[in-house]
Each structure stands twice: as structure tokens, then as C-alpha cells.
Amino acid sequence: HAKASGKNTYHAFTPELAHTVHVREHMSRELHFAIDRNELSIAYQPQFQGQQLIGVEALVRWHSAVLGDVPPNQFIGVAEDTGLIFAIGEWVLEQACRQAANWNAAGQPVRVAVNISPRQFAHQNFVALIASALTRHRLPASLLELELTERLVVEDLQRAAVTITHLQQLGVRVSLDDFGGGQSSLSFLMLLPVSALKIDRNFVINAEQSAAGQRVIQAITTIAHALGLRVVAEGVETAAQRALVESLGCEVIQGYLLGRPMSAADLQLPFSPRIPPALHNVGSGDEGR
Ligand code: C2E
Ligand code: MG
Ligand code: MG
Ligand code: MG
């Protein structure tokens, strides 16, 4: 009833752990069929610079016939552990590139940001996979952005820098997601040729609660700008949060305030955000779409 982890460490196999293991096994069995059963979809969340839509983030959704809606925070980890992340990641990339190419062909170019998991990024064919997706969909590289987490670059910084350089040479943008959350280090910013930082939602919340939280965001944006990077604030839910993070130097805003993740069909372009009345420009009201 005890599970070995490492040489001398044993963790009690508690009922909670048994439950977790059971749930994860069940999930991975179902996830295995998710693509073939058409249970995955993508939601697109808008990103704004001022009043202008400058991009969308592609966020995978799983509606399992057996388990119901499962959030990505629960199944992406399972997909990484089981290796399913390769198939799922390719599926997401494929859909996102097709959608971006469709918007572009319709005269509405919108940059689509795709989240990349550490195992995908570490795969030796990763850059070739990206290049092939761009070619097959005739998608200009500038309309694709890849969001990497810090976790992924910590392990082998030199190698990550080489891969990111190859991506930038293709013309694809790379951003660092959830910046500040984990083991972030300023050396990442100096060594990795990324074009943007996404500040974690927790920082936005902290900034509202403390002056120290505000100074941290201000310090991050100052460094980022000195290195020529854009700064995106994630999880902005209120007009007050938006005003605050903009005053601290974040130029791009993403969050429920300006748009929830939604289907491509719902994101009709040109997209008019649900801006609170105080921020409305005269004449930019209901006729927008
Ligand atoms: P993320 O990349 O940091 O994505 C932002 C998350 O914040 C999304 O959660 C989004 O729905 C949520 N969010 C956006 N605005 C707000 C807001 O104003 N308030 C709150 N409370 N939340 C907001 P979601 O879609 O559940 O995704 C969670 C995480 O799962 C993502 O975090 C990303 O790390 C991962 N993920 C999602 N899709 C993919 C994918 O296709 N591939 C990989 N590898 N990971 C993915
Ligand atoms: Mg992301
Ligand atoms: Mg994030
Ligand atoms: Mg996150």
C-alpha cells in the first residue's frame, strides 16, 4: 500500500491519492479517444491594445461524453504524463492555424497565440512541425504566436534559446506565459529572444491589493520594455484592474472584462469588445458590428 518514489522515500497511498490516481487513469483512458470522437474544440480569447484587437489566444476545450467538461488545467497534465500531448498539441496547432488562415483569407488578419507544453517544445521535430503547419495553411508566420511557460525553459536554457531563435527566424512570435509565477529569472529575459511577457493573473490581483504588488509589475514592465518586449496582463476582470495595469506599463490586456474565450463563430470580426460605458468612445457603440 506504499508507493516508492525515489530510493528511500515512501508516500502513504492514502484514499485521496487512490482517488486521484483513479481519476487520472479514467481521464487518460477517455482522453485517448477525445480527438477521434470529436470531443475537443478551441475557444479564442481576444487580446486588446487600447481599443484595438491585436490577437487571440487559442485555448483547448474538452467536452467528454463520459466525464463532461474537463478544464485544461486538469487534462493537459495528464496528456503530458501519458504522451497524448503530442497528438493533442498537433491537433490544437492545426485548428488554430486553419482558423487564422481563414480569418486572414477573409481580410481580417488576427494573430493567434497557441500554448505549447514543455514536452512538445522539447521534441526534436518541433520547429519543423511549426514550419510545416505554416506552409500547409499558407499562414504568414507573423500571424502565429507561441506561448511558452517558464517551466519549459528552466530545464535547458541554452537549448530553449536555440529553438526560440529558430522560431523567430521563421517569423513566428514567441511569448513567455505566466511570467513571474514560477522559477522565473531575469536571465531568461536576457537569453531568450521572446517578443512578449504575459503577466500572471495573480500579479494583477496582488497589484490591486498592495503597493508592493504594483511596484513589482512596474519593475517587470520597465525591464521588459528596456529589452524591447511587449507586456500582456492576463485575467483582467474589471475596468479598475485594467486602468491600474495600464498605468503600470502593461500595453496589452486580456481578460473577461474585454472578452471571454469563445468559439471562432462567436468572435465575429471586426470584434467589438464589451467595453464598460466609462471607456466608450463616442460613436463606437452598437453599430460596431
Ligand atoms: P493560460 O495559457 O495562462 O491561459 C489563460 C487562462 O486564464 C485560461 O484558462 C483563460 O480562460 C483564463 N482567463 C482569461 N481571462 C480570465 C479572467 O479575466 N479571469 C479568470 N479567472 N480567468 C481568465 P483555461 O482556458 O482554463 O486554460 C488554463 C491553462 O491551460 C492555460 O493557461 C494553459 O496553460 C493551459 N492550456 C489551455 N489550452 C492549452 C493548449 O491548447 N495546449 C496547452 N499545452 N496548454 C493549454
Ligand atoms: Mg497562455
Ligand atoms: Mg497565462
Ligand atoms: Mg495560467
Q: What is the ipTM of this complex?
A: 0.98
In total, the chain counts a number of residues equal to: 289
User: In three state form, how does the secondary structure of the chain look?
Assistant: CEEECCCCCEEECCHHHHHHHHHHHHHHHHHHHHCCCCCEEEEEEEEEECCEEEEEEEEEEEEECCCEEECHHHHHHHHHHHCCHHHHHHHHHHHHHHHHHHHHHCCCCCEEEEECCHHHHHCCCHHHHHHHHHHHCCCCHHHEEEEEEHHHHHCCHHHHHHHHHHHHHHCCEEEEEEECCCCCCHHHHHHCCCCEEEECHHHHHHHHHCHHHHHHHHHHHHHHHHCCCEEEECCCCCHHHHHHHHHCCCCEEECCCCCCCECCCCCCCCCCCCCCHHHCCCCCCHHHC
Report whether 55 contacts 96 (CB < 8 A): no
As a whole number of angstroms, the distance between CA 284 and CA 201 comes to 28
What's the N-to-C CA distance of the chain in angstroms? 61
Rg of the chain in Å (alpha carbons): 20
- Sort strands 40-49 and 52-64 into parallel, antiparallel or unpaired: antiparallel
Nearest CA to ligand 1 atom 22: 235
Q: Along the 289 residues of the chain, how does pLDDT read in single tens digits?
A: 444 444 445 556 677 777 788 888 999 999 999 999 999 999 999 999 999 999 999 999 999 999 999 999 999 999 999 999 999 999 999 999 999 999 999 999 999 999 999 999 999 999 999 999 999 999 999 999 999 987 776 678 889 999 999 999 999 999 999 887 776 677 788 889 999 999 999 999 999 999 999 999 999 999 999 999 999 999 999 999 999 999 999 999 999 999 999 999 999 777 766 555 444 444 433 433 3
**What pLDDT sits at residue 6?**
44
**What pLDDT sits at residue 2?**
43
**Could you tell me the CA-to-CA distances from 150 to 34, 92, 122 in Å, in that order?**
28, 20, 13
Owner of C-alpha cell 508592493: 212
**What pLDDT sits at residue 157?**
85
As a whole number of angstroms, the distance between CA 245 and CA 243 comes to 6
- Angle between the N-to-C axes of helices 201-209 and 211-226, in degrees from 0 to 180, rounded to the nearest 10: 130
The Å distance, Cα 37 to ligand 2 centre, comes to: 25
The Å distance, Cα 179 to ligand 3 centre, comes to: 8
Can you say whether residue 146 is alpha, beta or left, with left for phi > 0 and alpha for psi between -120 and 50 degrees?
A: beta
The minimum-distance atom of ligand 1 relative to the CA of 120 is 44
As a whole number of angstroms, the distance between CA 168 and CA 171 comes to 5
- Please give all residues whose beta carbon lies within 6 A of any atom in ligand 1, as ranges: 45, 59-60, 71-73, 76, 92, 115-117, 147, 177-178, 201, 234-237, 255-256, 261
Report whether 35 contacts 91 (CB < 8 A): yes
Residues whose Cβ atom is located within 5 A of ion ligand 3? 177-178, 234
Picking from 289, 266, 201, the residue whose alpha carbon sits closest to that of residue 43 is: 266
